[in-house]
Structure formats: C-alpha cells, structure tokens
A and B are shown apart, each in its own frame.
Chain A
Amino acid sequence: MTDPRDLVTDVGLLAEGAHDPGSPPAGIRRAPTGVDGLTTEHLVINMGPQHPSTHGVLRLIVEVDGEEIVAAETSLGYLHRGIEKLAETRRYNQLGTLMDRGDYVSGMHGEQAAALAVERLLEVEVPPKARWTRSLVAELTRIASHLIWYGTFGLDTGAMGQFLYAMRDRESILDILEAISGARMMFNYIRPGGVVADLPAGIDGRIRRFCNGFDAYLDEHHALLGGNEIFQARVQGVGEIDADTALAFGLTGANLRASGFGWDVRRERPYDAYPQLDFDVPVGTTGDAWDRYMVRMEEMRQANRMVRQCVDGMPEGDFTAKVPKVIRPPEGEVYASVESSRGETGVHVVSDGSDTPYRYHYRAPSLFACQVLEEILPGHLIADAVMLIGSLDIMLGETDR
C-alpha cells in the first residue's frame, strides 16, 4: 500500500513555503486588529473536506477573530476527476455519462446541455415529443435537486426532521425517473437528437398522482422549515449579495434571481419545450439567504406546474431524431447552456471532425458560487458560514469537475 504522503506534498494554505511568513497569506485581505485595547490573535481554522454538512468535499480555510470570520479561502480539487479531459476520449453520445457525474443530483440537466451542444453542431432538429419529454424529466430533476437542497439546508441550520420528509418526496420522483430512464441517479437518458427510449405506458398516471399531491407537501415543507422562527432568525438578513456583486462574480440561477436580477436561461435562451410552457420566474429583492430559500421553494412549485403541463400537453411522434450511431460533427465550436437547478450549466465543445471532441469545457455554476463565498463570508460568524454554503447550493462534483 502506498503511503499517501508520497502522493501529496501540498496541503494548501498552511504548506511550507506557501506564502512569505512576514505578510498575510494570499486571499487574506484585512490585516488583524486589536479589540478593546487587548491584542487578540486571529486563528486560522480549517473546515472540511470532511464535515457533516453534506455538500461534498469543500474545504474552507477561515481566519477568525473570536467567532467572527475575518477572511476566507476555499480550497477546491478534492473531487477533481478530469471530466473535461476524459471527454476527449469519449464519443459524443457518451458525454452524457460524464455530465451525469458532474452535477450528480440533477443529472438530466447536464445531459441536456451536452446534447444541445452536439445538436447545435450537427444542426439537427429535435422532434416535438422528444423536446417535451426532455422538459418533463428536466423539471422533475429540478424538483428532486431542490428537495436535496432543502433537506441539507435545514441540516446546516440544525433542523433534522425536514430532511426525511424531503427524502420521502424525492424517492417518489426517483421512482418515476427510474421507470422512464432505468436508473435512480445516472440516467444516461438524454442523447443528441432526443431521448434514448419512449416514455413507458401508464407513466402519465403516476406523474399526475405525484403532481396532485406535491403542492400540499410543498406547503408542509415550507411550514416545517420556513415557518420555524429559529430558522427565520438564522437565515433572514444574513449573507446579502446585491445584484452588482452577483453579476460581477458570475452568479446565475436562483442565487442571481434572489439578488433581484431575473435572468433565466429558459426565458432568455429558450430550448426544448420551454417556449410553449407557461411558468413564472420567481425573483427576490435583498439577496439574503432567506430570499434564496424563498426563490427555490417557489421554483419547486413552478416546476410542478410545468410537469403537469408537460404531461397534459405531450405531443405524439418520434422520441428522437435520426442521428448516426457514431456522430462526427463538422469542425467548429459551439456553446450551449441550460437552466439547471444550480444556475446556468454550459457546455463549450470544440470539434475537429472526428468522433470524439477535441476540447470539452463544462461551465459549472457552483464554481462561481464558491467564488462569491470568499467575498461575502468576512463579517459573518462561523455558524453562518455553514448556513451560507448551504444557501448557495454548491455541488462539488461540478465545481471540481
């Protein structure tokens, strides 16, 4: 067995030679100050990569003055698996398997982005039934992903009951997705040209039963966590991000919309069946954690509405366009993005005419959320840091790729 110390020599901020001991470490922007005439020391504390808030292997190095954070730095890379490099040896219809494992709780969105990029290169038209099916499974995945966010966000603030209720509803959705695609998590269902198989018979009854019950469940979830005054006291007014900061740091999705800027890829760059679906985009005002919570709860309600519309309005026809078994797109580059549960998930593909991509880049929305974390944490308490990571809905699989 190899000694892991032979594998690693750099453990981040505190490694020898990482910074000149005379000056503050890089990323630390404020110099230490004394308090009440006493000189107190600032401690540099490590949070992660193993911690009970199950957001993945995120490591935060914080400099604290007592309980208050003075500066913070994220240390990423504990899940760097090379999705971008491995994509250079995968065929175009295998890219979905890699994207499934990037943002692993909303796998359908990643697959959708990869498929859209290839379809734009090939200039192939996706038949209506495939487009409506993709929107259906994408919105179901959005609800599933937001339920995980809801469960773990409550865990971050100390509440444990809502996690089990969220998991119960998520299991119903995973049953539906398993009936459609065959798997609970790594769906591998959306391919360039459409989807891989038709919807099974009787699935619309199951989905309608789920939709009819889910609105009431959502009210229960909101009352359980959002109606709890301890949760409200911990979350309201904390972690405010104004719209300019959010835009400057590249935030998208619910994080950006909670700060007051209503940009949604489904509205601005429509794809699949979204032009025909009727939905509202919730927008917040102050950009604090409570607004992010409310925006996501409302997004679940809107997603439920869209799922019902997709089931009621599903057209007849082919579930996929005719694409060759081995896809060889013409040379060129393309960028395609979708509104995933975390923000704008984009795929930038450079094709050289062969059957594998020349360069594949995955624009991950959680990477920008990690950046803005370093900006907003100073001034908050350590307990707030845990809560803010949860409110930004960071998924390490796509951040590290």
Chain B
Amino acid sequence: MLPDATVVRSILSAAGVHDAPAEETSLGLVCRVPGSGAPGVLAALRESELDFRILVDMLGTDTGEGIEITYHLRSLSRDEELYAKTALPYDGDLHSVWNTFPSALLQERETAELFGLKLVGHPNPKRLFTTEGLEPLLRKSVPQRSVEEVRQR
C-alpha cells in the first residue's frame, strides 16, 4: 500500500527536484516539492512506473507561515497512495495541475479562493464559492463570528 520511497525520490530527481524528502508519517508516504514545480512533478508521477493516475483529493492548510497544499495521489494498478505537499507563501501563486489531473479543476478554484492565492494556468480562475469582497475565509487570521455578534443579530 505504501510506495517505495527510493523509487519516488528517483522520479522526483528525474523531474528536477533533487534531495526531495519522502518520509513515512501517520498519513502515509509524504514527499515535499517546491511550489512552482508541482505540475511537473505530478505529471512525472503520473507517467512513471508507479502509475499514479488519480488525484483523490487536494487541500490547503494554513500553517502560520504560509499555505501548505497537499495532493493525494492514488495508483490503482498497484494499489498505492502518495501525498505530495508544497509550501506557498500567503498571496502566492498556485500553479494548476489540471492538464494532468482534470479532477483538480474545481478544487483549485476553491483552494485559491478560500486561502487567498492566485491561480495560474487555469482555464477558469474565477471565485467558486463566495462573492466578491469576502476575505479568504479558511485562513487562521480570519475569525469566526463571536457570541456577542450573533446575539445582537
């Protein structure tokens, strides 16, 4: 179920990401790639012998220093799962992987909108869920409504 870490590292090196950490955590096998290199790396992982054909899930996390994007890849022929993480700065560029995985189309729009990133290379980079003028709601800096605010509705 866990892919071979050395094979993953060699694929990443071939794609131009050298010395990429690929470690096993409670999640599974996690490899880290630099932000702008995500499309190339994901394409390489898809074409490789490990055959990661499916992007199951894509999410962003506000780590306090920036936004960490996690891509959850799955290989059906080998029944393996891999997580690729990139770290982006606040208001940074999110490079789209839709050419490799069209399932990322709506998820990238959502992540870019709710975390305040700029979507690059996407055919339809509009807001998805919220209206104009709302802040990136999933960031830790944006608070939820307080009890007093609700009571005074």
Contacts and interface: CB of A to CB of B under 8 A. Distances in A.
**Mutual binders A and B:** yes
Interface string B110-140: 0000000000000111111111110001100
B107 A86 contact: no
A76 interface: yes
Contacts, number: 91
A26 B144 contact: no
A89 B144 contact: yes
Contact of B25 (A332, A368, A370, A400): A332
A85 B129 CA distance: 14
B95 interface: no
Contacts of A9: 131-133
Interface stretch (B4-12, B57-65, B86-94): B57-65
B137 to A, nearest CB: 6
A89 B125 CA distance: 30
A248 B101 contact: yes
A80 B130 contact: yes
Nearest to A368: B103
Interface in A53-79: 73, 76-77
B76 A263 contact: yes
Interface string A252-276: 0000000000010000100000000
Interface in B60-101: 61-62, 70, 72, 76, 79, 101
Contacts of B130: 77, 80
B90 to A, nearest CB: 16
Given A84-B138, A371-B103, A76 B79 contact: no
A379 interface: no
Given A77-B128, A89-B144, A263-B76, A332 B107 contact: no
Task: Give chain A's interface secondary structure class.
Answer: mixed
Given A27-B123, A344-B56, A359 B62 contact: yes
Nearest to B113: A77
A348 B70 contact: yes
B54 A371 contact: no
Contact of B72 (A330, A348, A358, A371): A348
A7 B131 contact: yes
Interface string A387-400: 00000000000001
Given A27-B123, A334-B27, A348-B57, A367 B72 contact: no
Contacts of A247: 53-54, 76
A7 to B, nearest CB: 7
Given A89-B144, A268-B79, A77 B27 contact: no
B21 interface: no
Contact of A85 (B102, B123, B138): B138
Interface in A102-122: 120-121
A298 to B, nearest CB: 23
A73 B129 CA distance: 14
B105 interface: yes
A76 B129 contact: yes
Given A332-B26, A334-B27, A361 B54 contact: no
A183 interface: no
A48 to B, nearest CB: 15
B123 A335 contact: no
Nearest to A375: B102
B17 interface: no
Chain B CB within 10 A, most for which of A7, A368, A375: A368
Contacts of A18: 126
A334 B72 CA distance: 11
A21 B26 CA distance: 50
A10 interface: yes
Contacts of B107: 367
A82 interface: yes
A338 to B, nearest CB: 13
Interface in A2-30: 7-10, 18, 26-27
B33 interface: no
Interface in A359-382: 359, 361, 363, 367-368, 370-371, 375
Contacts of A85: 137-138, 144
A250 B25 contact: no
A350 B67 CA distance: 14
A239 interface: no
Contacts of B126: 18, 26
Contacts of A120: 26
19 contacts: A9-B131, A10-B132, A77-B128, A77-B131, A80-B129, A82-B137, A85-B137, A121-B26, A248-B101, A330-B26, A332-B25, A348-B57, A359-B59, A361-B59, A363-B57, A367-B106, A370-B106, A371-B103, A371-B106
Interface of A: 7-10, 18, 26-27, 73, 76-77, 80, 82, 84-86, 89, 120-121, 247-250, 263, 268, 330, 332-335, 344, 346, 348, 350, 358-359, 361, 363, 367-368, 370-371, 375, 400
Interface of B: 25-28, 53-57, 59, 61-62, 70, 72, 76, 79, 101-103, 105-107, 123-133, 137-138, 144
